[in-house]
Amino acid sequence: MKIQMIAVGTKMPAWVETGFAEYQRRFPKDMALELIEIPAGKRGKNADIKRILHIEGEKTLAAIPKGNRIVTLEVTGKALDTHQLAKNMEKWQLDGRDVSLLIGGPEGLAPECIAASEQKWSLSNLTLPHPLVRIIVAESLYRGWSLNNNHPYHRE
């Protein structure tokens, strides 16, 4: 199973690139974590945010291979502890589809991405900055993998 993270935003600060890469490199070949960045629309003074979100949403959906399971990262989604996430990952693997995890930009995900979502995953009740979300998701998935594979990274 491949896990594809599709995130709005490019040219992240070095600490984000480094933090994400630190976890990405740990994934085994049979559960590779791929990152696809969607350029964020220009948000000038009189920007039409609805239109920008729509364009970002279309680009995000276009990056998803047909048949992938779509999971959106949303503050109002369902919170999962590490064991629940690990169980989820087992289920994802059993059904054989690759997974696309969608992370929105400054105003969140486009309505079309939310409508396409099969599962809404919340990391916390706090609204987190989207660059940080990439790192937290990568670490949480790695921890879930560790738990499912009796790897010593995860300790109770």
122: contact with ligand SAM by CB under 6 A:
yes
Does 123 count as an annotated binding residue?
yes
14: contact with ligand SAM by CB under 6 A:
no
How many positions of this chain bind ligand SAM (CB under 6 A)? Answer: 18
Q: How far apart are CA 96 and CA 135, in angstroms?
A: 25
Q: How far apart are CA 30 and CA 2, in angstroms?
A: 7
In whole angstroms, how close is the CB of 127 to ligand SAM at the nearest point? 5
Which range binds ligand SAM by CB under 6 A, 26-34, 52-60, 73-81, 147-155? 73-81
CA-derived radius of gyration, the chain: 15
74: contact with ligand SAM by CB under 6 A:
yes
109: contact with ligand SAM by CB under 6 A:
yes
Which range binds ligand SAM by CB under 6 A, 11-19, 36-44, 69-77, 91-99? 69-77
Q: Are the C-beta atoms of residues 110 and 53 closer than 8 Å to each other?
A: yes
Does 125 count as an annotated binding residue?
yes
106: contact with ligand SAM by CB under 6 A:
yes
Q: How far apart are CA 154 and CA 143, in angstroms?
A: 6
Element (H, E) at 59: helix 49-62
Q: Which two tokens stand for residue 128?
A: 């987190």
